[in-house]
Structure 1
């Protein structure tokens, strides 16, 4: 009697015939043909669980995982409809967090938002929430923190050497603020104000 065609219940037909066993089914868009809209949404939801993200960030992740552009667009549109993607809200959260907790100035935050694909309008609205007084106070806090680890400037000795040492410290502190995105003019003012409270007046001749 001949063997029945096809797989029998409970048998490993792939192993018996020498064919490789199938691996687990992919749950994202990797591989030929990409993935489905539902799979794309699942990828986005996992990413959003970690932190808020811009639409452009999510689109890039889906592209990297092999989802077709039209599939990604439909998934992103659906998530935007239910409020899970909102670039304006994302920009507000990002600007506030980076300013308060990372000590970033408006220029640096604007560059970060641009890199994340946030529109100029959404970025401008978010940055408007950081007023000049708040930015100046954040810069002053950063300078004070740095000065706590800085040895006091000398107050005795050659006046020119003392002035040169002060100028070097000013440049270092201003450079630190500039790298964090604070405007140079404000940075100089903040550094000089904080140094005046940190050191004694230079000795008179």
Structure 2
């Protein structure tokens, strides 16, 4: 084989992810960086910052990384605004995360405030209250029935706070759901 033709040779990999020698070659090539990005994007959507971080960890130089990521951005394979929208929708709907937690997650993923703001704005206060109420109802089904009201409120509000709901929303939702569940007996003095 001629020098440099290794990168064009078909892979004999059996589908198991293994460390390949070309990843550690003095910064790699743009094509190798693109291949690495495609493998990462095949698993799930990722932000530009996440991809840059993963490529740097694989040993690609900043110049090679930028060129590969610029090309993927140009063709639409990397779009931080679309990633933010998808992330917010998915994590709010399926994981029950509130806006505060979602904003923090997006910051950790390297999404700029200008890309994150429209995605977070898609969640209205009503959406957040509705999702929080669902979480409280689900949690109430698994809580011990002999738990006193104050302890129940603390646990439920704490659960919502850990998921990124504002304290005022958490208290409002918890009290409304407890009243609806006939858990509104006065606390012992």
Q: Residue 21 of structure 2: which of 16, 19, 26 is its match?
A: 26
- Residue aligned with 2:96, SS: coil
Distance 1:140 1:54 in 2: 31
Aligned to 1:159: none
**Corresponding residue for residue 61 of structure 1:** 54
1:96 correspondence with 2:89: yes
Aligned-partner SS, 2:150? helix
Structure 2 distance, partners of 1:198, 1:42, is: 54
Aligned match of 2:12: none
**Distance of 2:57 and 2:47 partners within structure 1:** 16
CA change 1:111–1:200 in 2 (3 A) is closer
Task: Work out the CA distance in 2 between the residues paired with 1:199 and 1:91.
Answer: 39
2:181 equivalent to 1:198: yes
Q: Distance in 1 between matches of 2:184 and 2:146?
A: 10
Residue number in structure 2 paired with 1:36: 29
Equivalent of 1:112 in 105, 108, 111: 105
> Displacement of 1:153 after TM fit?
5.0
1:146 corresponds to: 139
CA deviations 1:108-167 (Å, max 9, x no partner) are 00000000000001111100011111110000000000011123357xxxxxxxxxx201
- 52, 70, 73: which one aligns with 2:66: 73
Q: Do 2:178 and 2:184's aligned partners in 1 also have CA atoms closer than 8 Å?
A: no
What TM-score, normalized to structure 2?
0.85
Say what the alpha-carbon RMSD is for the aligned residues.
1.6
TM-aligned CA distance change 1:25 to 1:46, over 3 Å: closer
Could you tell me the TM-score, scaled by structure 1's length?
Answer: 0.78
Give yes or no for the alignment of 1:87 onto 2:80. yes
Cα deviation for residue 201 of structure 1 reads: 4.5
1:180 to 163, 175, 180: 163
Larger radius of gyration between Structure 1 and Structure 2: 1
Given that residues 35 and 68 in structure 1 are in contact (C-alpha distance below 8 angstroms), is that contact kept between their aligned partners in structure 2? yes
Q: Which runs of 5+ in 2 are unaligned?
A: 1-18
More helix by share: 2
Q: Secondary structure at the match of 1:146?
A: helix
The number of residues matched between the two structures is 168
Task: Report the 3-state secondary structure (helix = DSSP H, G, I; strand = E; otherwise coil) of the residue aligned with 1:97.
Answer: helix
Give the Cα–Cα distance (whole angstroms) in 1 for the partners of residues 67 and 144 of structure 2: 59
Q: Distance in 1 between matches of 2:68 and 2:76?
A: 13
